Amino acid sequence: MAAANPSATPAVRVQPGIPFRLADIDPDNVKPFSKKKAEKRVEELRLQISDYQENLYAEHRQSLLLVFQAIDTGGKDGTIRNLLTGVNPAGVEVAAFKTPSKEELDHDFLWRIHQHTPGRGHIGVFNRSHYEDVLVTRVHGLIEPHTWQQRYLDINNFEQLLTRNGTRVLKFFLHISKEEQAERLQARLDNPKKRWKFEPADLQERKLWDAYQIAFQEALAACSTPECPWYVIPANHKWARDLAIAEIVAAALADMNPQPPTATFDVAAQVVE
């Protein structure tokens, strides 16, 4: 089974200190794969991820945190479901962050986040995350520029703390086009089984598309570090999106190289009758 190879996908790793424009990244990019080859490769990577996760759980020394952000309809739910198919749910913790509760608002913006970071041996998944507090709050004018700029520093320090304590952090921005979003919103309206996902407020948020793109771009640039990188994933085509993320996750787990503990007893002396 071939080793994971993130560089063979259209994923773009945001490099610290190097300017980039989100608009320069094509959300339709699927090179160099065809859909058929990509789907086969994803199946191989799922097996790798499942094996690594079993060792990670048994080793109980490290953890992995996967952060997913996207504009509405960007595909976070589908991405998470596809990536973790076949993984033992006992070793996975998924947290979805909605509008903060009154109790959460009574604390600093990272308080509710820290409670959901993965424990040793686990894979943690954030469906939206602490980045909401430099995205939604910014776009809606709920915080001043000096506040979101300070929060960039707070986020970097927070993620460095996690890294120092054995948590690998990978962050994915699912990049779709405005046209693709329109099609997905319409599909939700047209399908009675998907209509529950649609909110009239989604159309108001859509009017803020340009402001969100700027907010995403600046947050990714400010908070992509060597230890906790941001990846921009072209996500108009779900099969290409799923492949890119699976390659990156499998490669990170291979680098972590979790190993199950050795037996603390004399194996040869044990007799099962």
Whether the per-residue pLDDT at 209 is higher than 90: the answer is yes
263 in any annotated domain: no
This prediction has a pTM of 0.95
141: region left, alpha or beta (phi > 0 left; psi from -120 to 50 alpha): left
Asked, for residue 20, whether it belongs to a domain, the answer is: yes
Has residue 266 been placed in a domain? Answer: no
At position 34, the amino acid (one-letter code) is S
Residue 272 inside a domain? The answer is no
| pLDDT value, residue 42 | 94
CATH number at residue 76: 3.40.50.300
265 domain-assigned: no
pLDDT at 86: 87
Asked if the structure places residue 269 within a domain, the reply is: no
Mean pLDDT, rounded, for 32-41: 89
Q: What is the domain range of residue 27?
A: 6-258
194 in any annotated domain:
yes
Average pLDDT over residues 231-251: 96
Give the pLDDT band (50/70/90) at residue 62. very high
CA 155 to chain centre: 15
Distances (CA, A) of 83 to 13, 19, 188, 273: 19, 30, 22, 41
| Structural domain count of the chain | 1
Which secondary structure element, helix H or strand E, spans residue 44, and what is its range? helix 35-59
For residues 28 and 17, give the distance between their C-alpha atoms in angstroms, rounded to a whole number: 26
Mean pLDDT to the nearest integer, 95-112: 94
The pLDDT of 251-262, averaged and rounded, is 94
CA dihedral 157, 163, 164, 165 (to 10 degrees): 120
Which pLDDT value is given to residue 224? 97
- Asked which of 82-86, 118-122, 167-171 is least confident by mean pLDDT, the reply is 82-86
Task: Give the residue-averaged pLDDT of 60-84.
Answer: 96
CB 132 within 8 A of CB 101: no
